[in-house]
């Protein structure tokens, strides 16, 4: 797909990976609508980008917003949805575990109410995360949610082919505002510790992940695929 002149809708497009994707899409000439609960956090945006406010968990609001914005060619969601529970599963607050699935419910709304407004030749891209297949200790919620996202995408790929495509990009540890870390020194130390066993021992950048999204968005022969942008986390010791 040639991005120039296409219409793109990016949920979570106002921060981190979604914002980086919004900027790359706009740079290639797309008209982008970046959406989150508080789009003002995006700061100054390039020409061709507008913003809307919506909570991806609000099914009724999502159905009407996607109907209003359609038809479009590129649909992306990188919205985290809500809080993530961490720690041993057998000691975990069960409501915290269940709440981590807000990411899946948000993505489900994006796909369920967005697919009908996707032009022929268009694509949907969701963002999962390495825990889906690395199954790290203490990240059971992220692992379960990511696995569900990847299974959903592969099943929907069958339903919407061959006219439309859907893929997943799976990031490893990425330096974005998602991680509440204060100051440069604290960020560098935390990311160095988190990634010390990885083949590429550093945090990735939001733009490196967004380039993975651009690959699946632009390559018309790619559907039902998971692209890992993870510095080799899945092969780490
Ligand atoms: N950063 C990492 O290390 C990493 C690793 C693996 C996977 N991921 C995944 O990558 C995706 C993007 O993460 P990120 O690091 O770019 O996070 P981020 O910088 O915190 O951005 C998250 C975006 O989602 C929006 N959002 C969150 N909840 C929302 C809701 N309920 N409704 C609408 N918008 C919502 C946020 O805006 P508002 O707050 O204004 O709503 C923001 O625009 C997420 O799915 C995350 O799980 C990240």
Q: Tell me: the pLDDT tens digits for 159-183?
A: 999 999 999 999 999 999 998 888 8
Give the count of domains, the chain. Answer: 1
Q: Specify the pLDDT at position 180.
A: 83
Tell me, what's the pLDDT at 237? 82
Residue 194 belongs to a domain: yes
Contact criterion met (CB below 8 Å) for 209 and 169: yes
Ligand 1: does its nearest atom lie under 6 Å from the Cβ of 127?
yes
Does any domain span residue 235? no
List CB contacts of 95: < 8 A, sequence separation 6 or more.
none
Question: Which atom of ligand 1 lies at the shortest distance from residue 36's CA?
Answer: 34
Round to whole Å and give the CA distance between 32 and 73: 10
* 177 Cβ inside 6 Å of ligand 1: yes
Is the previous residue joined to 104 through a cis bond, with omega within 30 degrees of 0? no
- Would you tell me how many other CB atoms lie within 10 Å of the CB of residue 138? 14
Asked if the structure places residue 69 within a domain, the reply is yes
What was the pLDDT predicted at 126?
98
Average pLDDT, the chain: 97
Q: Which domain covers residue 37, as residue numbers?
A: 7-228
Asked if 171 contacts 127 with a C-beta cutoff of 8 angstroms, the reply is: yes
- Structure pTM? 0.98
202-226 pLDDT, tens digit per residue, is 999 999 999 999 999 999 999 999 9
Element spanning 7, H or E: strand 7-11
Asked whether residue 128 carries a pLDDT value surpassing 90, the answer given is yes
74 and 2 Cβ atoms separated by less than 8 Å: no
pLDDT score for 184:
86
Q: Report whether residue 171 contacts ligand 1, using a CB cutoff of 6 Å.
A: yes
Ligand 1 site, residue 14, Cβ cutoff 6 A? yes
State the Cα–Cα distance between residues 212 and 229, nearest whole angstrom: 7
Residue at 121 is within a domain: yes
**What stretches of 100-149 adopt beta strand conformation (E)?**
118-127
Tens digit of each residue's pLDDT (9 = 90 or more) over 51-74: 999 999 999 999 999 999 999 999
The reply to whether 117 falls in a domain is: yes
Q: Using one digit for the tens of pLDDT, what is the confidence trace for 8-45?
A: 999 999 999 999 999 999 999 999 999 999 999 999 99
* Per-residue pLDDT, 181: 83
Collect all residues with Cβ–Cβ distance below 8 Å to 106 and sequence separation of at least 6.
Answer: 11, 56, 57, 77, 79, 81
Strand pairing report for 7-11 and 31-36: parallel
How do 72-77 and 7-11 pair as beta strands? parallel
Domain CATH code at residue 151: 3.40.50.720
* Beta bridge partners of residue 49, listed in sequence order: 32
Local structure of residue 87 (DSSP, 8 states)? B
Tell me the helices (H) and strands (E) count for the chain, helix number first.
Answer: 8, 9
Given this model, what pLDDT does residue 72 score? 98
Give the pLDDT band of residue 6 (cuts 50, 70, 90).
very high
End-to-end CA distance of the chain: 38
pLDDT in the model for residue 200: 97
Quote the percentage of the chain above a pLDDT of 90. Answer: 95
Q: Is residue 104 part of a domain?
A: yes
160: three-class secondary structure by DSSP: helix
Q: For residue 1, is it within any domain? A: no
For a pocket test of ligand 1, which of 10, 11, 14, 16 has the largest count of ligand atoms closer than 8 A to its C-beta? 16
Residue range 122-135: mean pLDDT, rounded? 98
Q: What is the per-residue pLDDT for 179?
A: 86
In a domain, 133, yes or no: yes
């Amino acid at each position: 797909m040639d991005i120039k002149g296409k219409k793109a809708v990016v949920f979570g497009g106002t921060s981190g990976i979604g914002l980086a994707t919004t900027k790359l899409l706009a740079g290639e000439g797309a008209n982008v609508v970046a959406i989150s609960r508080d789009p003002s956090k995006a700061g100054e945006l390039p020409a061709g980008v507008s913003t809307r406010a919506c909570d991806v968990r609000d099914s009724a609001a999502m159905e009407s917003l996607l109907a209003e914005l359609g038809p479009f060619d590129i649909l992306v969601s990188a919205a985290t949805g809500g809080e993530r529970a961490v720690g041993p599963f057998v000691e975990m607050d069960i409501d915290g575990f269940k709440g981590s699935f807000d990411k899946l419910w948000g993505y489900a709304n994006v796909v369920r109410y967005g697919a009908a407004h996707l032009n022929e030749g268009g694509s949907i891209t969701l963002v999962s995360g390495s825990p889906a297949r690395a199954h790290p200790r203490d990240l059971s919620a992220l692992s379960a949610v990511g696995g569900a996202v990847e299974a959903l995408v592969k099943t929907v790929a069958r339903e919407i082919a061959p006219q439309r495509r859907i893929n997943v990009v799976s990031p490893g540890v990425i330096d974005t505002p998602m991680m509440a870390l204060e100051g440069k020194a604290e960020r560098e130390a935390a990311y160095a510790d988190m990634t010390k066993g990885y083949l590429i021992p550093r945090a990735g950048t939001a733009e490196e992940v967004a380039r993975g999204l651009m690959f699946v968005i632009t390559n018309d022969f790619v559907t039902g695929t998971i692209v890992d942008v993870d510095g080799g986390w899945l092969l780490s010791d």
